[in-house]
Amino acid sequence: MVSQASLANAIRVLTMDSVQAANSGHPGAPMGMAEMAVALWDRHLKHNPADPKWPDRDRFVLSNGHGSMLLYALLHLTGYDLPLEELKNFRQLHSKTPGHPEYGLTVGVETTTGPLGQGIGNSVGLALAEKLLATEFNREGFPIVDHYNYVFVGDGCLMEGISHEVCSLAGTWKLSKLIAFFDDNGMSIDGAVEGWFTDDTPRRFEAYGWNVIRGVDGHDVDAVDLAICAAKSQHDKPTLICCKTVIGKGSPNKAGTIDVHGAALGKDEVAATRVALGITEGAFEVPEAVRAAWDGRAAGATRQAEWQTLFAAYRAAHPKLATEFVRRMKGELHPEFSATAAEALQAVVARNEAIATRKASQNAIQALVPVMPELIGGSADLTGSNLTNWKGCRSIRPEAMAEGGNYIYYGVREFGMVAIMNGLVLHGGFRPFGGTYLMFSEYARNAIRMAALMCINPIFVFTHDSIGVGEDGPTHQPIEQAATLRMVPNLDVWRPCNSVETFVAWQIAIEHRSTPTALILTRQNLPHLAHHSSQTSMIRRGGYVLKDCSGAPKAVIIATGSEVCLALDAQQALAEKGIAVRVVSMPSSFMFDQQDVSYRESVLPRSVPRVAVEAGITGYWRQYVGLEGAVVGIDRFGESAPVSQVFEYFGITAAAVLTAVEGVIAG
C-alpha cells in the first residue's frame, strides 16, 4: 500500500523539479501544502478528470495562486489532460502551466488566481451558486446539485481587503458548502509576517459567522481529513480550517525560510531534498505505484455515472426542470430570447422616452427577465440609485436562504461584489449583473480586469457617469473612468445616449459569451432623442451615423451618452450657418473597432475632419479624431454645483462643440 507520505512527496518532487527547470516560481507553498492536498484530493474531492465540466463536481480553487505547481501536480497525477511535458515546460511560452493558474487555458482550473484574495472571492460566488441552484432545481429524492467548494488561502489572501468583504458575506449567507483551508506558514515574500500580520484570524472568522477549526497540523493527513469531515458535518456555516504548516516542507536547509518562497531551490538543495525525503528516482520521476494511487479517473467515472443515473431519473420525473438546468449550465440563451428582445426593442423605439439611461436600463431588465431566469442582479448598497432591481425580483435574505432569490444586496463591497459575480459565472447556471457608481468602479477594477482576462461574461452597471452627478462633487464625478475601462482588453464598454441604445447595449451584453460588459449610465434625465427602427441594427455595430447632413459633410462629430444631444444641437446651429456636419453616436468603441474597414470608413470618412465630445478625459478620443482633430472634454477633476452649472463651467456645451468644429474645418 502506498503511504500518505509518498503521495505528498510526489507533489513535492514535481514542484521542485518544475520550478528548478524554469529557474522561476514559488516552490515553498506547494511543498508546504502537500499533505493538505492529499487529505482533500485523495479522500474527499468529488471530480472526474475525464470530464472537468461535470456540473455536480466539487470545485477547488487555489487562491494563493503563486503556488500553482500544487494544482498542476494534482491535475497531472489524478489524470487530467495535463501531461508531464507541460510540467517540464512550467512558466514557458504557450505552455499549459503558466506562472499562475489560468481559467480556460489549463484543464481543471476553475478560476484564474494570482492577485491574492480574489480566489476566495470567486469561491464565495461558487458556493452561493451551488446553494441557489440547489434551492431552485433540487426536488425530493433528487439532489442533482450537491457539491462542495474548497479553497486554499494563504496569509497574503487574508491580508487583502477583499477577503474581509467576501468572507463577511459568506458568513451572512451561511454558505455551509464552502470550506477554506488557511495555509498558516507565517511567511510572505518579505519574510516572517509577524511584523505586519498579527490578526487573530480564527476569532476574525468566527465574528463573520464561520465555523472555525483551529490548530490543525497541516502536515498530518489524518488530522486534515478529520477537520474536513467535521466541516461537512455541520450545515449552517462556512468553515475555515486553520492548518499550521512549514513553507518548503522537505527542504533540509531552506524549509521555514524566505529563501524557499519565490525562487528555485537550486540544484544542490533539490538533491539534498531528495535525500531527506528518501527519494531515489530522478527528476520528474514518480513511481508507478504512487501514480496509480493518485489516479482519480476510475473513481471519478463511477461518481459521475451515479450522478447521471440520478439525473436520468430526475429528467423522467421533472422533464421541464431538467431541460432548463441543462440549458443554464451550458450557458445557452432561452429559445425565446431573440424574439422577446426584438419585440421589446421595437416598443422602446416607439415610446421615445426622455429619461435617464439608468432608468432605461431598469426598463430593459424588466423586459428581459421573463426569458432570462438565470439573471441575478445586485448592487453595492446603491440599489435605489443604480436601479438594478426590478418588479418581482426576490432578494437573497440571510434569514431565508432556503427560499433562494435573484437579487443580492452586497453592501458597500464593490470589489467583493465583482469577485463574487465572477464566481457565479464560473460556476455556471447564472448571468450576474451588479451595480455601483462609475466612480467606484475603481474599487472593483482588478476583479473587472480578471473577468476580461478569463473571457467570462458578467455585466457591470455603472451609473452616475460624469460631472452630471452635480452637487456630489469631484469625489463622485468620474473623469478618467470611462476611458480607462475602454482600455481594458476584452471589456465591452457601452455609454448609451437614450433608451434605445441602452436596450441594445443590454441585449448585446447578454449575447456575449466570452466578454464582460460595462454599461455606463446617466443619473440625470436626457432630452428626447428619437431613433427610427432602421437604425437599431446599426447601433449593434457600436458606432453609427445618428444624423447625417445634406451633401458631403465638412466635419464629423463623434459623441456618446449625454453629450450626443450637444452634438445634435451643434449640428443644427452649424447647419444654420451653412456648414454641413455629420453626427456619429459611438456608444461602444469596442464593437465599432470590430467592424470591417469599409463600414468604419463609411461612418468616419478618412478625409473629413473630426470632433469628439464626451464629459471625460480627452486623450482616449485622439485615436478617432487624430492630432488634427479636436476633443471637447475634461482633463481635470470636477466641481460641486448643480448639473447645468457644472457643464457650463467646464465648457461641455453645444457652443463649445460648434467652435471646435469650426476650428478643425479652418485647419
Cα–Cα distance for residue pair 93/91, rounded to 1 Å = 7
Cα–Cα distance for residue pair 456/162, rounded to 1 Å = 20
Q: What angle do CA 146, 452, 62 make, to 5 degrees?
A: 45
Give the Å distances, CA to CA, from 418 to 201, 306, 330, 474: 24, 35, 22, 24
What's CA 290's distance to the chain center, in Å? 37
Read off the C-alpha cell for 225: 481529513
Cα–Cα distance for residue pair 65/618, rounded to 1 Å = 38
Helices (H), 265-397: 267-277, 288-294, 297-317, 319-330, 337-351, 357-368, 383-386
Cell 446539485, residue located: 145
Report yes or no: 421 and 194 within 8 Å, Cβ to Cβ: no
Q: Which of 552, 622, 624 has its CA nearest to residue 586?
A: 624
Cα–Cα distance for residue pair 270/374, rounded to 1 Å = 50
Cα–Cα distance for residue pair 314/317, rounded to 1 Å = 5
Residue 588 phi, psi dihedral angles, 5° rounding: -135, 100
| Beta bridge partner(s), residue 373 | none
Cell 435605489, residue located: 384
Cell 472568522, residue located: 205
Q: Which of 659, 480, 465 has its CA nearest to residue 557?
A: 659
- Sheet containing 555-559: give its strands across: 544-547, 581-585, 555-559, 610-613, 630-632
Q: Which of 163, 158, 223, 160 has its CA nearest to residue 184?
A: 158
Instruction: Provide the 8-state DSSP code for 298.
Output: H
Cα–Cα distance for residue pair 39/221, rounded to 1 Å = 5
Q: Which of 470, 472, 473, 494 has its CA nearest to residue 482?
A: 494
Q: Which of 302, 293, 183 has its CA nearest to residue 243?
A: 183
Q: Is the C-alpha dihedral spanning 340, 345, 346, 352 positive or negative?
A: positive
How many helices and strands, by DSSP H and E, does the chain display? 29, 18
- Sheet containing 178-184: give its strands across: 59-62, 149-154, 178-184, 239-244, 211-217
Report yes or no: 193 and 261 within 8 Å, Cβ to Cβ: no
What is the dihedral angle through the alpha carbons of 217, 166, 328, 452, rounded to the nearest 10 degrees? -100
Cell 505505484, residue located: 289
Cα–Cα distance for residue pair 163/167, rounded to 1 Å = 6
Catalytic choice (86, 414, 442, 501): 414
Among this protein's residues, is 414 annotated catalytic?
A: yes
List, by residue number, the catalytic residues.
414
